[in-house]
């Protein structure tokens, strides 16, 4: 008779091709059962669409034959870790009252600018706030909060390692940019991304929060779906520029939240770069990217238009300098984001009330 330990030992010789670590330490082997000459176990993948699943299965069989016995019949059941992640998330984010996911159909529309300024404005208004920068294509928190070359501390509690978010301007921050340099993360594939997202959100010691703002990567791929699984109770806001509404991708981003098994309510649309007003002509508005595109989109999606944010030099400059404009006390730009924050607080409250009504 063979032991579970022997099987585990053999499987610890098999590496996940993406993560370059062995399956046992990655917690990907579950439910090992041995009956006479047969062994069965669950191989837990982040997604059943994993392109390497057949290779990993074959490597497992080979390792068991090589290190235990080549007479053993090996049965491997593929499972997705989605459910497991969701359960873990339930526990670790239990003390977070509301999660707001900030999404966009494509990059460059000001999604990260909105996410950062919203988080700072919420904190300034007295809410306990966190911000996760999960944008693998261009993490923005290290620059916008002047935290380049900083790495969060890790603490052990109850036998588990927790990352401690870095706090600045009253916001608890966690960013993919604290761990990878430049654009390295943009080449990652599904399983690797899911693991990192999991760490950014679930393995972070957020403690009690009123709002956790999550800056999603642009688009509608695997990563957004993974995130939606990790944060099942989130509500979304969609950032667009006015001209973007002609494009299918912003609608696709909106429809993602109604995807099977996600059902993330859309809190509303933020139209960014709505118009430009030159300082010397304060009454003139130039609709460089078209007019009211965000409003039309909001109507089409039956969601509120939460803000129309103009193009303002200080919004861009303050981001580059490492202090979001909404941190300022007396400025027109800060007020735009203060107003957005209070609208969002209202919308969240309405939806939460509607969901708990009986």
Is 183 near ligand ADP (CB under 6 A)? Answer: no
Judged by CB under 6 A, how many residues of this single chain contact ligand ADP? 18
Is 113 near ligand ADP (CB under 6 A)? Answer: yes
**Contacting range for ligand ADP; rule: CB under 6 A; set: 104-112, 147-155, 261-269, 279-287:** 104-112
Distances (CA, A) of 238 to 106, 214, 273, 282, 309: 11, 12, 14, 28, 13
Q: Which is nearer to ligand ADP, 17 or 310 (CB)?
A: 310
Q: Are 327 and 334 in contact (CB under 8 A)?
A: yes
Distances (CA, A) of 208 to 68, 88, 188: 48, 17, 31
Tokens of 294: 């965000």
CA dihedral 105, 140, 20, 9 (to 10 degrees): -100
Is 109 near ligand ADP (CB under 6 A)? Answer: yes
Is 107 near ligand ADP (CB under 6 A)? Answer: yes
Q: Which is nearer to ligand ADP, 82 or 242 (CB)?
A: 242
DSSP 245: G
> Which residue reads 């966009």 in tokens?
104
Q: Are 348 and 235 in contact (CB under 8 A)?
A: yes
Partners of 1 in the β-ladder = none
Is 240 near ligand ADP (CB under 6 A)? Answer: no
Q: Which is nearer to ligand ADP, 138 or 191 (CB)?
A: 138
Is 104 near ligand ADP (CB under 6 A)? Answer: yes
Is 294 near ligand ADP (CB under 6 A)? Answer: no
Q: Which is nearer to ligand ADP, 45 or 312 (CB)?
A: 312
Partners of 311 in the β-ladder = 276
Cα separation, 59 vs 53, in Å, equals 10
- Judged by CB under 6 A, the residue of 60, 212, 225, 312 near ligand ADP is 312
Asked whether the CA dihedral 337, 338, 343, 349 is positive or negative, the reply is positive
**Contacting range for ligand ADP; rule: CB under 6 A; set: 4-12, 77-85, 308-316, 347-355:** 308-316
DSSP 139: -
Largest CA distance in the chain: 86
Q: What is the nearest approach in angstroms of ligand ADP to the Cβ of residue 276?
A: 9
Spatial CA neighbour of 88 closest among 194, 211, 231: 231
Q: Which is nearer to ligand ADP, 213 or 273 (CB)?
A: 273
Contact mark string toward ligand ADP, 254..273, x via CB under 6 A: ------------------xx
Is 141 near ligand ADP (CB under 6 A)? Answer: no
Q: Which is nearer to ligand ADP, 43 or 109 (CB)?
A: 109
> DSSP characters for 22-36?
BTTTTT-EEEEEEET
Is 311 near ligand ADP (CB under 6 A)? Answer: yes
Give me the residues that bind ligand ADP (CB under 6 A), please.
104, 107-113, 138, 140, 272-273, 309, 311-312, 315-316, 319
């Amino acid at each position: 008779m063979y032991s579970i330990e022997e099987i585990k030992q053999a499987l610890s010789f098999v590496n996940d091709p993406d993560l370059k670590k062995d399956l046992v330490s990655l917690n990907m082997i579950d439910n090992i059962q041995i009956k006479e000459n047969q062994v069965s176990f669950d191989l837990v993948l982040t997604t059943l669409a994993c392109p390497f699943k057949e290779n990993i299965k074959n490597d497992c069989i080979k390792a068991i034959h090589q290190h235990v016995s080549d007479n053993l019949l090996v049965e491997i059941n593929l499972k997705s870790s989605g459910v497991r992640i969701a359960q873990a998330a339930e526990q670790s984010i239990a003390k977070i009252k509301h999660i707001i996911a900030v999404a966009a159909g494509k990059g460059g529309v000001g999604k990260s600018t909105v996410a950062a300024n919203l988080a700072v404005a919420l904190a300034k208004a007295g809410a306990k706030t966190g911000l996760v920068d999960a944008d693998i294509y261009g993490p923005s928190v290290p620059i916008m909060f002047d935290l380049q070359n900083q790495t969060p501390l890790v603490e052990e509690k109850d036998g588990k390692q927790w990352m401690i978010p870095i706090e600045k301007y009253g916001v608890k921050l966690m960013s993919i940019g604290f761990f990878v340099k430049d654009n390295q993360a943009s080449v990652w594939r599904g399983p690797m991304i899911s693991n990192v997202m999991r760490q950014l959100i679930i393995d972070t010691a957020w403690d009690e929060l009123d709002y956790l703002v999550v800056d999603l990567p642009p688009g509608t791929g695997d990563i957004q779906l993974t995130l939606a699984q990790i944060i099942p109770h989130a509500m979304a806001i969609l950032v667009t520029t006015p001209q973007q509404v002609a494009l299918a991708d912003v609608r696709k981003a909106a429809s993602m939240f109604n995807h099977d098994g996600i059902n993330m309510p859309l809190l509303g649309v933020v139209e960014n770069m709505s118009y430009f007003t030159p300082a010397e002509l304060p009454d003139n508005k130039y609709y460089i990217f078209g007019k009211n595109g965000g409003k039309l989109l909001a109507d089409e999606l039956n969601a509120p238009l939460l803000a129309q944010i103009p193009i303002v030099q200080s919004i861009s400059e303050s981001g580059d300098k490492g202090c979001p404009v909404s941190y300022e006390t007396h400025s027109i730009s800060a007020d735009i984001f203060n107003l957005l924050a209070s609208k969002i607080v209202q919308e969240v409250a309405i939806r939460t009330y509607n969901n708990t009504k009986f």
